[in-house]
Amino acid sequence: MIAFTVRRLFQTIPVVLGVTLVTFLLTQILPGDLADVLLGPTATEEARRQLRAAMGLDRSLVVQYGTYMWHLLHGDLGQSLVFAQPVGAVLANRLANTAVLAVAAIVISSVGGIAIGTWVALKPGSLRDHSLSTSVLFLNAMPPFWLGLILILVFGLELRWLPTSGMTSAIDGGGALDLAAHMVLPTLTLAAWSMAVITRMTRSALLDVIDGDFIRTARSRGLGEARIILRHALPNALPPIITVIGLQAGFLLSGAVLTETVFSWPGIGLALYQGIAARDLPFIQGGILLLALIFVVINFAVDALYAYVNPKIELQ
């Protein structure tokens, strides 16, 4: 398993390089460059040319990419225009806030999804199965920002049970209770869609396994039903479920942009939204690079977990 993990680690290197290339090219693909953004529409052509020369934007693409990578390797992501701070510092500041939300969402959606999916799979075709599967489909079809708005309307504005915004910081904000109260609605918004997907995958993966021969063997030996499900069926159904959970991580990152915007949650997503609105190229570049790297790391973790769950992978 160690050999597999190491090999998989090496395979992430070209992916990371690819990601940096794409984020670099982003500034080239978007209309207008940094000089246009900085100087605004009224600047003279001469002023633009001078600024470009000063920032090295008139050099060849290869040289520019080299410079970009050189800075990147020194931890320099550039200066954000909107936040008037180094991009790295802004991202570091806000990472914790997003992480709190994303981790809570992934835990809730995984635990809830696997539990509901298992419960439903025990009686396929029953009333329980049909009613829950339909509601899950409904959740699945709801865009997160819309669900967020509905939650704000009901629990924030009508019932006034929970705060809908005003979150400051997860680390040095208003303490655990304040954090929890602020977290409930955005976490639910973020978790709902993923939980629906995980529920559906758990149900179908478990149904595939549960008619298997080794389940029949376990029954023929007089083992209890709970043990058969938890110890025999579920571990064998896990690989596709883990894959889906890994994919949800990607969704949560993009979902964070929408959810954080709706709830004014001071995380990376909200910052990225503000950056995009202001055409803050260095910040967009840095934010996307960070999100992409997180995605790569999560996928690597999923593959490593896969090898742990499935002993056969070791051999390959």
Partner 1 sequence: MNLLEVRNLSVAYGDVAVVRDVSFTLAAGRSLGIVGESGSGKTQTMLAVLRLLARGGRVTSGSVLFEGRDLLTLSPGEMRQVRGRGLAFVPQDALSALNPAMTVGAQMAEPLIFNEGMGEEAALARCTELLGQVGIPGAAARLAAYPHQLSGGMRQRVLIAMAIAAHPKLLIADEPTTALDVTIQDQILRLLDRLRRELDMALVLISHDLGVVAGVADRVSIMYAGRIVESASAAEVFGRPAHPYARALMAAKPRLDRPAGALQPIAGLPPDPAHPLQGCAFHPRCAFAIERCGADTPPLEAVAADHLAACWRAREQLAAATTASMRVADAEQPAGEIVVEDLSVRFPIRSGILRRATGTVRAVEGVSFAIPMGKTVALVGESGSGKTTTGRALLGLAPMSNGRVSYFGRDVAAIRQDMPRLGQMVFQDPYGSLNPRMTVGATLAEVVSVHGLVPRGQIGRKVDSLLDSVGLRPAMARRHPHELSGGQRQRVAIARALAIEPRFIVCDEVVSALDVSIQGQIINLLMELQRTRGLTYLFISHDLAMVRHIAHHVVVMYGGKVMEAGPRDRLFAEPRHPYTHALLGAVPVPDPEVERKRTRPEVRGETPDPADPPPGCRFHRSCRHADERCRREEPLPEAVAAGHTVACHRWQELAQGLNHA
Residues that bind partner 1 (CB under 8 A): 3, 6-7, 10, 124, 211-214, 216-225, 227, 231-232, 235-236, 309-312, 315
Nearer to partner 1, 114 or 290 (CB): 114
Residue 124 beta carbon to partner 1: minimum distance, rounded to whole angstroms = 8
Residue 261 beta carbon to partner 1: minimum distance, rounded to whole angstroms = 42
Name the token pair of 17.
Answer: 């390089």
Nearer to partner 1, 234 or 257 (CB): 234
Name the token pair of 288.
Answer: 């996307």
DSSP state letter for 157: I
Determine the Cα–Cα distance for residues 188 and 104; give it in Å rounded to an integer.
9
Nearer to partner 1, 19 or 234 (CB): 234
Residue 301 beta carbon to partner 1: minimum distance, rounded to whole angstroms = 19
Nearer to partner 1, 98 or 236 (CB): 236
Residue 118 beta carbon to partner 1: minimum distance, rounded to whole angstroms = 16
Determine the Cα–Cα distance for residues 118 and 126; give it in Å rounded to an integer.
13
4-10 long-range contacts (CB < 8 A, ≥24 apart) are 4/304, 4/307, 4/313, 4/314, 4/316, 5/304, 5/307, 8/300, 8/303, 8/304, 9/300
Residue 136 beta carbon to partner 1: minimum distance, rounded to whole angstroms = 22
Determine the Cα–Cα distance for residues 251 and 299; give it in Å rounded to an integer.
13
Determine the Cα–Cα distance for residues 121 and 208; give it in Å rounded to an integer.
10
Nearer to partner 1, 196 or 228 (CB): 228
